[in-house]
Structure 1
Amino acid sequence: MASPLFRLFRYARPHRGKIAWAMFCSFTNKICDIAPEVLIGVAVDVVVRGEKSYLGQMGFTAAFDQMALLGILTFLIWGGESLFEYLYETAWRNLAQTIQHELRLDAYAHAQTLDMAYFEDRSTGTLTSIMNDDVNQLERFLDRGANQIIQVTTAFLGVGAIFFALQPTIALLSLIPVPIIIAGSFYFQTKAEPLYADVRERAGAIAGRLAGNLAGIAVIKSYTAEALEVKKLAEESDGYRAANGRAIRISSAFIPLIRMAILAGFLVTLVYGGYLTLSGQLAVGAYSVMVFLTQRLLWPMTELAQVFDLYQRAMASTRRVLDLLDTPASEKTAGQAFDRAACKGAIHFDNVSFAYAGRERVVTEVSATIPAGTTAAFIGTTGSGKSTLAKLLMRFYHPSHGRIMLDGQDIAGLSVSDLRSSIGFVSQDVFLFDGTIAENIAYGRPGAAAEDVERAAKLAEAHEFITGLPDGYGTAVGERGQKLSGGQRQRISLARAILKDAPILILDEATSAVDNDTEAAIQRSLETVGVGRTVLVIAHRLTTIRNADQVFTIESGRITSVMSRAEWAAQADAQV
C-alpha cells in the first residue's frame, strides 16, 4: 500500500493550487530569511576592502552609496520576509482547516454507506477518534510541520548553492552532516511508524471506553462500579502512556544525533574557513557569510526532531482516516428509483435466510406474504429472528439466500434512499437527538410546519405531556433524550414516524419497555395511523398484536405458524 503521505497528496489533489501557493510563500520567506546573513558578509567586505569590495566592483564605489544600497536591500528583504511569513501562515492554516473539514465530512459520509455489520465490529469510540482526533492530528501537521519541512529543504539548497559558489571545499566538508541527518531521519521513521500507529489505536480504545462508560453511567452507579471502571480506564490510559513512551524514546534520540552532526559541520566552517581566511585564500566577507549561514542552515535542523514527531503522529492518523475512506462501500445506495407516492406496501419474503458474520443462521427459509394496507404481527421468543426480518426489509443487512419483494420488485435493486423513505420505523431502543422535542419529531421531515408536528404528536398521544412541559415543543430532550421518561421518548419516536407519513410502518418491540398506559396509547394511535398503510408489528407481548390481520409465529428463525385475525382471536379467547 502507498505511504500515508502519498495517499494524502492524492486525496488533496483538488487543492493543488493552494498547496503550490503555500509552498511558494514558505520558500520565498526562507530565501528572505537567509539573505540578511549574506548582507552581513557584504557589509563586512565593504568595511574591510572599501572600493575593492563586491559592491565596489559593481560600480558603487562611494562608501555612502554602498551603505545606502545595503540599507535599502535590508529593508526590502526584511519586509519581504515579514510579508511572506504572513502569507504562508494564512495559506497553510487555511489549507489545514479546509482539508480537515473536508476529510472529516468525507469520512463521516463514507461511514454512512457501510453496512451495519461494520459498526457492530468496531467501537463507537474508535470511529469517533478517527473522525475527530486523527483528523485534528493531521491538521496540526499541515498547520506547522509542512512549512518547516519546506523551509529546511529551501535553506539546505540555498545555503549549499552559496557555499559552493564561495568555497567548494568548505561546502563539501560542512555539508557532510546533512546526509547523516537525512539517513537518521529515515531510520527513525522506520522505527517510529509502528509505534505511533500503536499510539493512535490505544487513543481510540480510550475514547471507546470513555464513550461507553458515559453512556452507561446509570448502570455503573447502580452497581457501585465506579472504582472498577476507574481501574479499567487506568489500565487503558497506562497502556496509552506506555505506547507514547516507546515512541518518545525513539523520537528523543533523534535530537542528540542532529546536534552532534551540526557541531561537526559548524567546526569545519569555523576552523578550516578561518585558516583559509588568515592565509589569504578566502575573503573576510565570504568567511563571515559562511559562518553565519552555517548556523542558519544547521541549527534549525534541531527542530526536525519536533517536525519528525509531528509528522509521524500525523501519518499514523492519516493512515487510519484514509483506511476508513478506502473501506469499500458495502451498502449499495444506487439502484432503481422507487416512487414513494406510488408505493402500495405489498411485502413478500421469498425463502429468506440470513446469518450474522461468524454466527449461525438467525433466519432460515422464511416465506411470508403481507398484502398492502394490512397489519402483520411477528411473535416469538427473544432471539428468534423477528427483529432481523425488519432489518432485512430496511436493507440494514442483505439476505444470505432468497429475496424480499416490495410491490413486486426485489428491494436489492432499489435505491436505498427511496426504499427507506417509504418506511417509518419505531424501535424498542428509542434514540432521540440532542435538540428540542419539535426537532426530534420533525427529523424525518425537516422544515415541517408546526401544525403538522403538533398533529403527529396528537396522533401519538404525546401532545398532552408535551404541552405540560415548561417549554412545550421547544423543550430540550438532552443527549439520547435522557431528560424524558421511557414512555415519553417512545411516544415522540412514534410521532416522528407518523409525521414521516410513510406507506409502511414498522414497530419493532415498540411497547416492550413501556407502561400499560403508554402501550394503550400506542395501540389507540395505531388504530388511526395504521389505516391505509402496511404495518409490521414485532412483539412478544400479545396485547400489542390484537388488531393484526395476520400473526406469524417464529421459532429459531423459522415461521412455525400463520394465523388470521379470527384464528388468533379464537386462540386468545381459548387461552383466557
Structure 2
Amino acid sequence: MRLLNPAAPLRRLYRYGFRHRAQMRWAVFCSIMNKLCDLAPEILIGAAVDVVVRRDQSFLASAGLVDPVWQVGLLGVLTLLVWGGESLFQYLYQVAWRNLAQTMQHELRLDAFAHVQKLDMAFFEDRSTGSLVSILNDDINQLERFLDDGANRILQISTGCLGVGAVFFAIQPTIAVLSMLPMPFIIAGSFWFQYKAEPLYAEVREKAGLISARLANSLTGIATIKSYTAEDREAVGLAADSDTYRKANGAAIKLSSAFIPVVRMGVLAGFMVTLVYGGWLALEGSLAIGAYSVLIFLSQRLLWPLTEMGSTVDLYQRAMASTRRVLDLIDTPAPALDQGQPLAVADVKGDIRFDGVSFAYAGRDRVLEDVSAHIPAGTVAAFIGTTGSGKSTLAKLLMRFYEPARGQVLLDGVPIATLRLHDLRRAIGFVSQDVFLFDGTIAENIAYGAIGRAGPVDAAEIERVAKLAEAHEFITSLPQGYDTLVGERGQKLSGGQRQRLSLARAILKDAPILVLDEATSAVDNETEAAIQRSLETIAIGRTTLVIAHRLTTIRHADQVFTVEDGRIACVRGRVG
C-alpha cells in the first residue's frame, strides 16, 4: 500500500481540478497524438527499406499498390502528413498544458489564500508567515512546472511504450517479449524510487519553507537587526538554514541521479536483444529487412525515453510534495464566515456581555477564568491591567478571533457564536496597538475602512474622518498629501501618524461598536491627547471598549474593569 502513496496527491489534484476535465482531456489527446505521429517516421523508414529491397513484393505491394515509384510517392505524402501532424499536435498540447498549468496555478493560489484568510487566529500561532508564503508561492509554482511539462512527458512515455509494444508484437512477438523483459524492472524501479523519494522531497519543501520564514522575519525586522548590529548573526542563521536545504536537496539528488544509469543498463539489454536476435532472424530470412529496420529504430524509441523517467519522476515527486502541502492547507478546517444567524449592522445596539468566559491559548496556562462583565449599549467601558492579565484577549474573543473554552459572549442578548462571523466583524471597528498599513497611499489606507459598503468612498468623506482622528493636519503637510505613499507596513510614517490613520480607518467603518486595544500605549503624549479628543466625539452613540494600562487613556470611561490574573478584580464608575 505504501507504494501507492505517491499517487494520492495526484488524485487529490485531479479532484480539485475536475471542473477543467474537458481541457485536461484535450491536452491528454494532443499529447498522445503528438507521440503517435512522432513514432510513425520509424515505421515509414522501415516501409521505405522494404520497398527498396523487395519492390513489387513489399508490404505496400501486398496492400494493392504494386508500382514501387507510387509506393515511394505514397510514403513521401505520409511522411509529410505525419510530420505536419506532429508539429500541429505539439503546438496544441503545449498551448493546452501551459494554459491549464496557468489556470490551475491561478485558482490554487487564490483558493489557498482565500482559505488562509478564513482560518482562525489559533492556526497562525504555530505557523510562520514565511512558511505560508512558501506554500502560496513556491509550492504552487512547483506544481505549475509539473503541469507545464511533466504531465506531458509521463503521457508521452506511456504512449510510446504502448504504441511501440503493439508494433513489436505485430511484427515479431518473440523479439517483443525478449526486448521488453527489462521494462518490469524499470517500472518497479520507478515505483521504488517514488517510495524512497517521497519523504526526501517532503523534507525539501519543508526546508524551503524555513528559508522563506527566515527571510520574511529578517526583512520585516531589518530596523531591529541594524540597531543591534546583528547583520552577521542573521547571515549566519540564513547560511545554516540554506545549508540544511542544500543537504536535503543533496539527498534527493543523490537518489535521482543513481536512477538513470540503472535504467540505461536495462535499455541496453533490450536493445541488444533486438539488434542481435532480430539480425539473426533477418539473416536466415525469417524476418524481412524492412521489418528488422522498424524494430531497430523503434527499440530505441521504446526504451531510450525510459531514461527520462528519472528526471520525470523527480519532477513529479517535487510537484506532489508541493501539491500535498497546498491541498493540506486548503483542507484545513476553517470557521464558516457566512453561516449562522444574520446580523444587520444597522440594527445593532451594542449591548455586550461576557458571561462566565474562560480561555487559554494552545499549550499555555489559562488566560481568562470565569470572567463576567456587562457593557450597556452606547457606553464607554475600559479594561485596565498589567501586561498579560488577559484584557486584550477579551477583545479578541469579542471579534471571534478565538472561541472561549467556557462561557459565552453575547451581543444584544444573542450569543455571538450563533451569528454570522462576517456580520459580527462588520459591526465592530478595531484599532490595535500594532497598526498595519498597506503599501499604498494614505487615502487608500483610510478608505480600507469602507470595504463592504455600497458604492465608492469619496475624498470629502476621507478628509472628514481624518479630521476626526486629528490626522488631517499632518497629512496636508506632506508633499503629496492624501496621495502620499506610506511604504510597506507604513514605514514612511511615524508611529503616532500610523495610529491616527488606523483610527481614521475605524471611524470610516462607522461600526456601532469600537474597540481600541492599547491604541495609545506606544505613542507620544501629543498623539495620545489627539486620540483622546477624537474619542470624545466618535464614542457618542456607539459602544466603545478601551483596553489600556494608563489611567489617562480611560478618564472618560463610564465604567472601568480592572483585570488581574485573568479575572475581573473590581469595577468602578466614571473616573474623569
Q: TM-score, normalised by structure 1?
A: 0.97
Match for residue 512 of structure 1?
Answer: 521
3-state SS of paired residue (1:56): helix
Contact 1:181 1:261 in 2 (8 A): yes
Unpaired runs of 5+ residues, structure 1, are 570-576
1:374 to 371, 375, 379: 379
Contact 1:25 1:85 in 2 (8 A): yes
Q: How does 1:336-351 map to 2 (within 5 A)?
A: 336-351=341-356
For each residue in 1:116-164, what CA deviation from the matched residue of structure 2 results, as whole angstroms up to 9, or x when unmatched? 0110111111111111111111111111000000000000000000000
Q: How does 1:484-503 map to 2 (within 5 A)?
A: 484-503=493-512
Q: How does 1:523-538 map to 2 (within 5 A)?
A: 523-538=532-547
Match for residue 404 of structure 2?
Answer: 399
Q: State the number of aligned residues.
A: 567
Query: How far did residue 75 of structure 1 move?
Result: 0.7
Identity value in percent: 70
Match for residue 573 of structure 1?
Answer: none
CA distance in 2, matches of 1:235, 1:480: 28
**What amino acid does structure 2 have at the position aligned with 1:49?**
R
- RMSD (CA atoms): 1.1
CA distance in 1, matches of 2:504, 2:29: 57
Instruction: Using the TM superposition, name which of 57-66 and 520-529 deviates more.
Output: 57-66
**What amino acid does structure 1 have at the position aligned with 2:375?**
I
For each residue in 1:207-260, what CA deviation from the matched residue of structure 2 results, as whole angstroms up to 9, or x when unmatched? 101101111111111111111111111111110000000011111110001110
Contact 1:114 1:331 in 2 (8 A): no
Contact 1:116 1:396 in 2 (8 A): yes
Contact 1:177 1:261 in 2 (8 A): yes
Match for residue 125 of structure 1?
Answer: 130
Match for residue 413 of structure 2?
Answer: 408
Query: How far did residue 63 of structure 1 move?
Result: 2.4
1:264 to 269, 272, 285: 269
Contact 1:374 1:533 in 2 (8 A): yes
**Is residue 222 of structure 1 aligned with residue 227 of structure 2?**
yes
CA distance in 1, matches of 2:297, 2:475: 75
Contact 1:254 1:305 in 2 (8 A): yes
**What amino acid does structure 1 have at the position aligned with 2:539?**
G
2:55 to 44, 50, 59: 50
Query: How far did residue 51 of structure 1 move?
Result: 0.8
**What amino acid does structure 2 have at the position aligned with 1:137?**
Q
Query: How far did residue 449 of structure 1 move?
Result: 1.2
For each residue in 1:401-429, what CA deviation from the matched residue of structure 2 results, as whole angstroms up to 9, or x when unmatched? 11111111110000000000000000000
Contact 1:115 1:331 in 2 (8 A): no
CA distance in 1, matches of 2:184, 2:461: 72
CA distance in 2, matches of 1:61, 1:359: 90
For each residue in 1:84-136, what CA deviation from the matched residue of structure 2 results, as whole angstroms up to 9, or x when unmatched? 00010011111111111111111111112211011011111111111111111
3-state SS of paired residue (1:253): helix
Contact 2:517 2:548 in 1 (8 A): yes
**What amino acid does structure 2 have at the position aligned with 1:73?**
L
Match for residue 26 of structure 1?
Answer: 31
Unpaired runs of 5+ residues, structure 2, are none
Instruction: Using the TM superposition, name which of 90-99 and 443-452 deviates more.
Output: 443-452
1:150 to 152, 155, 174: 155
**Is residue 137 of structure 1 aligned with residue 146 of structure 2?**
no
Q: How does 1:175-254 map to 2 (within 5 A)?
A: 175-254=180-259
**Is residue 297 of structure 1 aligned with residue 302 of structure 2?**
yes
Contact 1:350 1:402 in 2 (8 A): yes
3-state SS of paired residue (1:561): strand
Contact 1:113 1:333 in 2 (8 A): no
Q: How does 1:542-561 map to 2 (within 5 A)?
A: 542-561=551-570
For each residue in 1:302-349, what CA deviation from the matched residue of structure 2 results, as whole angstroms up to 9, or x when unmatched? 111111110110111111111112211246651100010111111111
Contact 2:24 2:100 in 1 (8 A): yes
CA distance in 2, matches of 1:463, 1:494: 12
For each residue in 1:478-531, what CA deviation from the matched residue of structure 2 results, as whole angstroms up to 9, or x when unmatched? 111111110110000000000000000000000011111111111111111111
3-state SS of paired residue (1:373): coil
Query: How far did residue 48 of structure 1 move?
Result: 0.4
Contact 2:337 2:422 in 1 (8 A): no
CA distance in 1, matches of 2:567, 2:337: 28
Match for residue 471 of structure 1?
Answer: 480
